[in-house]
Amino acid sequence: MSAECSSYLNADKVLVSGFSCPRAGGDARAVFCCGFQDVKYCCDDPHSFFPYEHSYMWWLSVGALVGLSIAAVVLFAFIITVCVLCYLFISTKPRSKLDPGLSLQTA
């Protein structure tokens, strides 16, 4: 079983000639033509989207989790601060009404 990858223009607008999969000297299991319009390669999974290992995705996920955790802590601290300030504002209000100093009388 083999597949034909047609010629294409890469990202630098250079024509790359077509080739057959599997390539000579390449992985014998890579019998499918995978890729996009500007990059094509032989692969062993017809549903593969990238010719690279996916280990870098793990580090992106860890970085995203750390960033989201920091953002959650900051948001939680902000909410707690607002609640404490509201409580202090309400609890320190005078209980009785202040005398405005003017007595209103009807004419």
Q: Return the pLDDT at 50.
A: 59
Report pLDDT digits (tens) over 48-107. Answer: 665 555 555 666 677 888 899 999 999 999 999 999 999 999 888 777 766 666 676 776
**pLDDT for 54:** 56
Question: What integer pLDDT is reported at residue 48 of this predicted model?
Answer: 64
Tens digit of each residue's pLDDT (9 = 90 or more) over 10-61:
889 999 999 998 888 888 888 888 888 888 888 888 776 655 555 556 666 7
Domains of the chain, residue spans = 4-43, 53-89
Query: Burial of 34 by CB count in 10 Å (0-12 exposed, 13-18 middle, 19+ buried)?
Result: buried
Lookup: tokens for 48: 């593969």
